[in-house]
Amino acid sequence: MARLVAFMFEMHQPRRTRPLSPRALLDRMREGPRASYDSQLDAQVFGRVTSRCYAPASRILSAAASRGFAFSFSPSGVWIEQAREHAREVLQELRRSVEAGAEPIAQPYYHGVSPLLSDLDEMEQQLEAQADAVESEFGVRPRAAEATEMLYNDEIGRAMRRAGFGLALTEGAERVLGWRSPNYLYMSRAGIPILMRNYRLSDDVAFRFSERSWDQYPLTAEKYASWIAASPGDVVFVAMDIETFGEHHWRETGILDFLEALPRALEDAGVEAVGVSEAARRLTPADYVDVPPWDTISWADVEKDPSAWAGSEEQARALALYEEVGSYARAVGGELLVHWRYLGMSDNFYYMSTKRGPSGAVHDYFSPYKDPLAAYTSYLHSLLSLYADVLRAYSSGVERYAPRLRTPPRLSFVVRSPEGDSLLRTLDDLRRCLLECPSAMAGHLNGDLQSWVRHVFLWDRLAEELEAASRARDPVRAALSALGRLVPAK
């Protein structure tokens, strides 16, 4: 039977974009990207949730931590930003908890769709940015990490390991575990240990606590602690949104009393509460788990996959366009890159979901839009407006920015050769292929490469230089010379 329990509380609030309207369009034209956000609504929501949930729940947890109750919490960087602005007392309570042993967890700073992009370096950068924010705010650097909404596959695990984290957190999905229980530490094929959420025990509180038709209603702290104590395995990993306590279930349901009574009930049941890293340190992995990219898991919806953000045609289109804009935004950097990252928050894609049934009901509960189409059209307005800003900045300094551009796969150039296909995504890739496969590249200097440089890199001068090179006696050498003049080798 399990004698360890690891609680983790998710903390995130989005920066909401304004619904599409003539006023929103006009303000965006006059004021730029900042006018895309509904800052007034954000402040109202954060203030309401603070009074109902963040403030009382953080006080309860801080008091429990001072008496030895260990727990973990995972704040997005965007949540920390808003808490600094609207709820500094909550941050103070969390600092007291950390001083008493609570463990902060890393997640992508913007709680965004970066784990779903073709390149995971954006996710790595956001994990590191959030870890910096956590260290600045709470004085300790996270050792464990989760991707947004516990998205996970082995490539994500490798990215977390490269970023220096020693533990990955994700969902205990049956299609991955098979007959095995989530109540053990596992090792991934990516070489990073994994702790997998017990979603049944988590959802007993997060979703069913105030459901009067539930056959276990009412749920008391003592009953819940006995369920954890009776669970087979080494450790029960319970994770839920912190808004469970006072926002999703109001104070009148008894949810805050439940939270306050839980540490003592667990102690009486013989269950020790630990942080997730402490659980991993004390346990030996029971087995390996394989999660290939085509079977990515998450904690969202009954499907427990990426379909909450990429399951419909509209979501897939928005995600592809978002990645395309990001290629140029990352080349330009600065404030425009920050705005691109805000627009990548998973909430924006979550609102577009067209799911029905239990999953659809949850999406509708959180969405501020009247329907998924309104969410989609409003988002495209914000994203395309930003795209125009990014391209204006990019084209004004194309000689500086084009060498930084890394195209998404769908805008990349495919070179066919007897040795196999090569995918060109950067100008460095172009230089390398000219050197390594000159015979194949000679055939592509018939206008294809020039068109790619002109229409994707938006660099007319380089396209003209490559056009002139195509007429030389040795086109490949001439093309390399043109690149050398305009794009110095790194």
Task: Indicate the pLDDT class of residue 339, thresholds 50, 70 and 90.
Answer: very high
Task: Indicate the pLDDT class of residue 355, thresholds 50, 70 and 90.
Answer: confident
Token look-up 């808003």 returns 82
Residue 418 pLDDT > 70, yes or no? no
What is the arithmetic mean of pLDDT over 309-317? 97
Catalytic residue chosen out of the listed positions 103, 124, 149, 323: 149
Strand duo 413-415 + 422-424: pairing:
antiparallel
CB 111 within 8 A of CB 12: yes
Q: What is the pLDDT of residues 20-47, one digit of tens each?
A: 889 988 888 899 999 999 999 999 999 9
The length of the chain is 490
Using CA atoms in the order 370, 376, 379, 383, what is the torsion angle rounded to 10 degrees? -170
- At residue 440, the pLDDT reads 87
Q: What is the percent of the chain where pLDDT is above 70?
A: 99
Q: For residue 78, give Cα distances in angstroms to 3, 83, 288, 342, 345.
A: 35, 9, 34, 9, 9
Task: List Cβ neighbours of 419 (8 Å cut-off, separation of 6 or more).
Answer: 437
Whether 278 is a known active-site residue: answer no
Cα 259-261-263 angle, rounded to 5 deg: 85
CB 388 within 8 A of CB 344: no
